[in-house]
Amino acid sequence: MTPDTAAAQAARSVTINIVAVDMAFDTDTITVPAGAEVTINLDNQDDSVPHNVSFYTDSSAARAIFIGDLITGPDKVTQTFTAPAEPGTYFFQCDVHPFMSGAFIVE
């Protein structure tokens, strides 16, 4: 494997850590490379409250990119999905609490 190939493969996978606490995410922006394999670690710290992280093409949440598993806090879950190949600004939210949302930026 050439160094260039290794670098290209490294850029194709990214890990995102996101915390849900006090009915909010700890970030309002998730940025990943186009086409990347995205590993998302959700840390739900809200006792007895279900949260997930789901990704949609836009804030209408009509077309899903990836629907995250719901977990009831305190709990953690790790999931993997493939980011869109097309760069752009997409959307993420907790499906139970859509006010917990942000920009999913693919670049």
Q: Which residues bind Cu ion (CB under 5 A)?
A: 51, 94, 96-97
* Interatomic CA distance for residues 26 and 18, integer angstroms: 6
Between 94 and 106, whose beta carbon lies closer to Cu ion? 94
Least Cβ distance, residue 24 to Cu ion (angstroms): 9
Q: Residue type at 2?
A: T
CA distances from 2 to 8, 9, 63 (A): 10, 11, 38
Between 101 and 106, whose beta carbon lies closer to Cu ion? 101
Between 7 and 96, whose beta carbon lies closer to Cu ion? 96
